[in-house]
């Protein structure tokens, strides 16, 4: 690799971000002659984000939806993986500044995605965690299962009710999937596992600001989704805005009415903002950003004035004619895996053509449709004009996900195990880990110690804490 790099100076492609966009670009370019690719990610693994909510609800383990980038790309000798963090870009010198080094590039592909966003209420983050990283998912998992354990121990009915109340903020795909999975847990998986609480008394509230769940979907599918959620036992509240989150209390405004909901577990599935790399591109390369910080790109996904810097995936704002309701207005493509995959592959083809002195037509998104799963055995699917819901949609959903999951990494057996869990309604990985669990609040042992039997009083020096 290094040697050939010396003999004939190859075209250096630097890809920032190992998500769907970056990974597809790397794979598509990986066997191109006279090209040398470096894929940078601060993690050593690719995350199959569409199933992240399954980790948050204990159905899958982190390892089930993650694959080491080095393992995925080891077949591609021209691709070098670097675990590092990009902190700056210099378009003049065509360099990317990383934490540990600086890389020159001929073509730069930025695919750093988005993170969740609290609309200027970042103080809500602690009380209402979002779901973008594995750590987020494990934090949610800890809170969800920790809440049931705490409820089992809670004698005060008010507080017990608060432990058994779950609020999901945001009725998009992630919110719908989380709420559905929570209902599965409370009303089926955990039903017979507790003695002092009845988990079927669990209250699951799904809050959506607009007038229906799954706003990007056709109205009738949104209705189907709402029905399925209600059947599962989820309380869906549309046109409901969260105005405050504090002390386990969510303040919800619906029209001109305001309600306060006591809930110990609040999950954030509303709103995303572009990763900070967008700001870097704006500051260094004059990129324009939209309201949520995504980078406005040319029809070929490059930046204005920067023909060799491309943005793909969730970070890119690619305006396109929407086939939906009013095809007059131009909308950005949705932040879903298929868009990122197609954009990554497109850039790869573009680079290959350019090296041959040729050009490519503008990027066109080949709409493969949208999928959202609603708890157990139900989903909604749109494919062009086709609309499917209920169990058939769920089958399509499961097939698509198995297909992609296996494409990255031979996880066939993981998926079979998972299907097994699904049909048996069994939880796969319901672990509450990490000492700092909310359930391990330190207690003043001295006060609580029983009077010491005289016989041994002398032996007791320090308060005794034992593991169990």
Among positions 401-420, residues that touch a second copy (CB under 8 A) are 410, 413-414, 416-417, 420
Those residues with Cβ within 8 angstroms of residue 61's Cβ, 6 or more apart along the chain or in another chain: 55, 428, 429
Binders of a second copy among 94-113, rule CB under 8 A?
A: 95, 97-101, 112-113
Q: Closer to a second copy at the Cβ: 99 or 200? A: 99
The site string for a second copy over 346-375 (x = CB under 8 A, - otherwise) reads ------------------------------
Tell me the closest approach of the beta carbon of residue 286 to a second copy, in angstroms.
Answer: 6
Q: Are strands 295-296 and 272-274 parallel, antiparallel or unpaired?
A: unpaired
Q: Where are the beta strands (DSSP E) in 79-178?
A: 79-83, 86-90, 95-98, 102-104, 107-110, 114-116, 165-169
Tokens of 47: 């995350």
Tell me the closest approach of the beta carbon of residue 71 to a second copy, in angstroms.
Answer: 7
Q: Closer to a second copy at the Cβ: 326 or 436? A: 436
Q: Closer to a second copy at the Cβ: 67 or 222? A: 67
Tell me the closest approach of the beta carbon of residue 367 to a second copy, in angstroms.
Answer: 28
**Is residue 7 part of the contact set for a second copy (CB under 8 A)?**
no
Q: How many residues sit in the footprint of a second copy (CB under 8 A)?
A: 99
Q: Report residue 239: phi and psi, to 5°.
A: 50, 35
Binders of a second copy among 13-32, rule CB under 8 A?
A: 16-17
Q: What is the dihedral of CA 146, 45, 26, 84, to 10 degrees?
A: 110
Tell me the closest approach of the beta carbon of residue 254 to a second copy, in angstroms.
Answer: 35
Tell me the closest approach of the beta carbon of residue 72 to a second copy, in angstroms.
Answer: 10
DSSP-derived secondary structure for 328-360: TSEEEPPS-HHHHHHHHHHHHHHHHHHHTT---
**Near a second copy by CB under 8 A, which window of 23-31, 251-259, 379-387, 450-458?**
450-458
Binders of a second copy among 38-67, rule CB under 8 A?
A: 40-45, 60-64, 66
CA distances from 405 to 22, 28, 63, 64 (A): 16, 18, 12, 9
**Alpha-carbon distance 166 to 186, whole Å?**
10
Binders of a second copy among 327-346, rule CB under 8 A?
A: none
Those residues with Cβ within 8 angstroms of residue 351's Cβ, 6 or more apart along the chain or in another chain: 11, 13, 29, 32, 35, 107
Residue pair 230/136 in contact by the 8 Å Cβ criterion = no
Given 2, 135, 158, 177, which residue is catalytic?
177
**Is residue 209 part of the contact set for a second copy (CB under 8 A)?**
no
**Near a second copy by CB under 8 A, which window of 188-196, 220-228, 344-352, 381-389?**
188-196
Tell me the closest approach of the beta carbon of residue 154 to a second copy, in angstroms.
Answer: 9
Let me know the angle formed at the C-alpha of 290 by 116 and 121, rounded to the nearest 5 degrees: 35
Tell me the closest approach of the beta carbon of residue 457 to a second copy, in angstroms.
Answer: 9
Tokens of 293: 């910080």
Tell me the closest approach of the beta carbon of residue 214 to a second copy, in angstroms.
Answer: 28
Cβ burial, residue 78 (10 Å; 0-12/13-18/19+): buried
177 is catalytic: yes
Those residues with Cβ within 8 angstroms of residue 125's Cβ, 6 or more apart along the chain or in another chain: 118, 268
Closest among 113, 114, 109 to 15, alpha carbons compared: 109
**Near a second copy by CB under 8 A, which window of 242-250, 357-365, 379-387, 440-448?**
440-448
Q: Which of 6, 325, 386, 466 binds a second copy (CB under 8 A)?
A: 466
**Alpha-carbon distance 150 to 264, whole Å?**
10
| N residues, the chain | 468
Binders of a second copy among 124-153, rule CB under 8 A?
A: 134-135, 138, 145, 149, 152-153
**Is residue 399 part of the contact set for a second copy (CB under 8 A)?**
no
**Is residue 195 part of the contact set for a second copy (CB under 8 A)?**
yes
Q: Closer to a second copy at the Cβ: 208 or 314? A: 314
**Is residue 444 part of the contact set for a second copy (CB under 8 A)?**
no
**Alpha-carbon distance 220 to 235, whole Å?**
19
**Alpha-carbon distance 459 to 448, whole Å?**
18
**Is residue 12 part of the contact set for a second copy (CB under 8 A)?**
no
**Is residue 290 part of the contact set for a second copy (CB under 8 A)?**
no
Binders of a second copy among 246-285, rule CB under 8 A?
A: 275-277, 279-280, 282-284
Residue pair 338/383 in contact by the 8 Å Cβ criterion = no
Return the active site residues. Answer: 177
């Amino acid at each position: 690799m290094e040697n050939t790099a010396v003999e004939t100076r190859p075209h250096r492609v630097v890809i920032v971000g190992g998500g769907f966009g970056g990974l597809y670009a790397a794979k598509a370019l990986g066997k191109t002659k006279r090209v040398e690719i470096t894929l940078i990610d601060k993690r050593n693994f690719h995350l199959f984000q569409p199933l992240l909510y399954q980790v948050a609800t204990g159905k899958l383990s982190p390892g089930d939806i993650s694959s080491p980038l080095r393992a995925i790309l080891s077949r591609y000798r021209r691709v070098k993986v670097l675990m590092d963090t990009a902190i700056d870009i210099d378009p003049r010198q065509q360099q990317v500044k990383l934490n540990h080094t600086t890389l020159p590039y001929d073509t730069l592909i930025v695919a750093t995605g988005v993170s969740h966003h609290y609309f200027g209420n970042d103080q809500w983050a602690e009380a209402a965690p979002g779901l973008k990283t594995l750590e987020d998912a494990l934090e949610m998992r800890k809170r969800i299962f920790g809440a049931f354990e705490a409820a089992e121990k809670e004698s005060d009915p008010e507080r017990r009710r608060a432990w058994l109340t779950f609020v999901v903020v945001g009725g998009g795909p992630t919110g719908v999937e989380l709420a559905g999975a929570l209902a599965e847990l409370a009303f089926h998986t955990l039903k017979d596992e507790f003695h002092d609480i009845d988990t079927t008394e669990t209250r699951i509230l799904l809050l959506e600001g607009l007038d229906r769940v799954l706003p990007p979907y056709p109205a009738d599918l949104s209705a189907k989704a709402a029905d399925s959620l209600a059947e599962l036992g989820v309380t869906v509240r549309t046109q409901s805005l969260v105005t405050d989150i504090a002390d386990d209390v969510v303040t919800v405004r619906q029209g001109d009415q305001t309600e306060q909901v006591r809930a110990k577990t609040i999950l954030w599935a509303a709103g995303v903002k572009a990763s900070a790399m967008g700001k870097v591109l704006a500051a260094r390369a004059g990129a324009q950003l939209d309201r949520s910080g995504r980078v406005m790109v040319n029809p070929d996904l490059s930046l204005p004035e920067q023909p060799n810097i491309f943005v793909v995936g969730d970070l890119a704002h690619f305006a396109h004619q929407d086939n939906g309701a009013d095809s007059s207005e131009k909308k950005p493509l949705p932040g879903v895996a298929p868009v990122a995959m197609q954009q990554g592959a497109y850039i790869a083809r573009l680079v290959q053509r350019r090296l041959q002195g040729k050009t490519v037509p503008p990027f066109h998104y080949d709409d493969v449709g949208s999928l959202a799963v609603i708890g157990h055995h139900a989903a909604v699917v749109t494919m062009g004009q086709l609309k499917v819901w209920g169990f058939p949609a769920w089958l399509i959903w499961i097939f698509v996900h198995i297909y992609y999951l296996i494409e990255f990494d031979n996880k066939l057996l993981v998926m079979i195990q998972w299907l097994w869990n699904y049909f048996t309604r069994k939880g796969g990985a319901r672990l509450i880990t990490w000492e700092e669990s909310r359930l391990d609040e330190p207690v003043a042992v001295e006060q609580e110690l029983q009077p010491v039997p005289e016989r041994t009083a002398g032996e007791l020096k320090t308060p005794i804490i034992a593991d169990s």
